[in-house]
Homo-oligomer: A and B are copies of this chain.
Amino acid sequence: MKQKITIKTIAKELGVSTSTVSKALKDSHEISAETKERIQAYANYYNYKPNHLALQLRNQKTKVIGVILPKIVHHFFSTVIMGIEEGANLKGYNIMVCFSNESYKKEVETLKVLSNGSVDGIIVSIASETLENKDFKHFKELVSEEIPLVLFDRVVEDILCDKVVVDDVGAGYKATKHLLENGREKIALITTPNHVNVGALRRQGYEKALIESYIKTNKNIIVEIDEEKDIKLQIEKVFDYGIDGIFAVNEIYAANAMKLAKEKGNKVPEDISVIGFTDGLISEYSSPSITTIAQHGFIMGKQAVELLIERIDKEAEVYKPKKIVISSDLKLRESTKPSS
């Protein structure tokens, strides 16, 4: 990189001290008009830019927010990033994005790297492996170091920090209720293993809705997908039980299930109604397009970053961790309609 001009070089060239230059550039009243003029003209001419690193060191602020996501090639998470970035920019922050790739080890390492002072605060959605291990000491350590932390979507209650979540139970309930209201009674659930808490919560909503309609849950038509294995093969078996509705906790599962349903000779939505989660492009562009629960990832990201910056700004204060619950909406499309 080319030799950058610094306050020192300006000072030397103009025969003044660095303090004078610094003040002149800030338009301080301590400096005479003509000196200011000279210095500013020089700085401007040589395109002086203050060195960010030096400022960061001095201010003990980086104006950078760290973000750790389980993955990015995923509609929901990329939407959240957009929200975080917009919220951060509004307050003069930049974001440093890292991925855990759902791995516990990488999450721990990334957290360590980010907590060495490169960022003022961190936003995380927890990796599934970590959720499975139930090992959260890296987060607790962060909290005890008082580094501002906000968890979103995949959160864990006993980490004492701010959180932003969707109302997963309510959303699962809403989705199932919608199918029930369409006259569906044998509703398959395609969900994640139980350690992914969002899956577990949506399942609670599903079960709640069924109970309210006096329908017994049937374990045969509930599938917990193991993403290591072939998704379609795992879903397939539910079709042996004469189902008339499918609730999938994300859009990949929904699309797979719908495709299978069609392959098995069912018409969607006539024979089987399908409802998904995460209002992404797949749901929008598949045919029929899929009714989903929209998670409002953008809003989540923005709320998360606002919460975080608030915490950064009032670092001294003691506080009770806040939890923001974002409501989710039913987005009606072609894959659901009343049974005839």
Enumerate chain A interface residues (CB-CB to B < 8 A): 1-2, 4, 47, 49-54, 56-57, 62, 64, 72-75, 78-79, 81-82, 85, 94-99, 112-118, 141, 144-148, 252, 255-256, 259, 262, 280-282, 285-287, 315
Contacts and interface: CB of A to CB of B under 8 A. Distances in A.
A contact face: mostly helix, strand, loop, or mixed: mixed
Contacts of A145: 1-2, 4, 47
Given A94-B118, A98-B85, A315-B1, A53 B64 contact: no
Contact of A259 (B72, B287, B315): B287
A53 B118 contact: yes
B72 A115 contact: no
Nearest to A54: B57
A75 to B, nearest CB: 7
A307 B229 CA distance: 36
Nearest to A81: B72
Given A51-B117, A97-B85, A72 B78 contact: yes
Contacts of A117: 4, 49, 51-53
A286 B112 CA distance: 41
Contacts of A51: 57, 116-117
